[in-house]
Copies of this chain bind each other. A is one copy, B any other.
Amino acid sequence: MFFLRELPTRQMLLTYRDRFPDMNPQAVGEALRLLRRGSLLMRELEAYFSAHALSQTRFLTMILIDREPARDGLFPSEIADRLDISRPVVTDTIKSLERAGLLHSIRDISDRRAKKVRLTPDGRAALAAVLPGYFALIADFMDRSTDDAS
């Protein structure tokens, strides 16, 4: 998270360039706006999910599984790869979704180390319930923050 409320003015960036001549004020300004804007959206999304007993990661885990109905479930390691998060986080995420009855997993037949994770009917319902608000939040955010900061 990056939450600097007031980004440096153009003038402040130019002052830094005086001290560090290789510095590119344009790129730094853009990067800070990217970080600030992304963090604000992330914060709003986390708050939304939290109000629905979810989190970004739990939501995305469910989306990933839902997105591949052809497969009869995903392996935790696949989820870790696709979400680009560490496996221990996937372990905990699955555990918590199972406790909530939104996911269930079964040992793999051919590889007894592995397990397949599927959505329960409740899981599919929870996803459908949360998606409209998710899309609405994003549309609203993008509308509000149409780069008038640049």
Contacts and interface: CB of A to CB of B under 8 A. Distances in A.
A81 interface: yes
Interface in A8-62: 8, 12, 16, 19-20, 22-24, 27-28, 30-31, 34-35, 37-39, 41-42, 45, 56, 60
User: Number of copies of this chain in the oligomer?
Assistant: 2
Contacts of A28: 135, 138-139
Interface stretch (A82-90, A102-110, A111-119): A82-90
Given A23-B131, A23-B135, A24-B142, 12 more contacts: A2-B38, A2-B60, A5-B81, A16-B135, A20-B132, A24-B139, A27-B138, A27-B139, A27-B142, A30-B142, A34-B37, A38-B39
Interface of A: 1-6, 8, 12, 16, 19-20, 22-24, 27-28, 30-31, 34-35, 37-39, 41-42, 45, 56, 60, 67, 81-85, 128, 131-132, 135-136, 138-139, 141-143
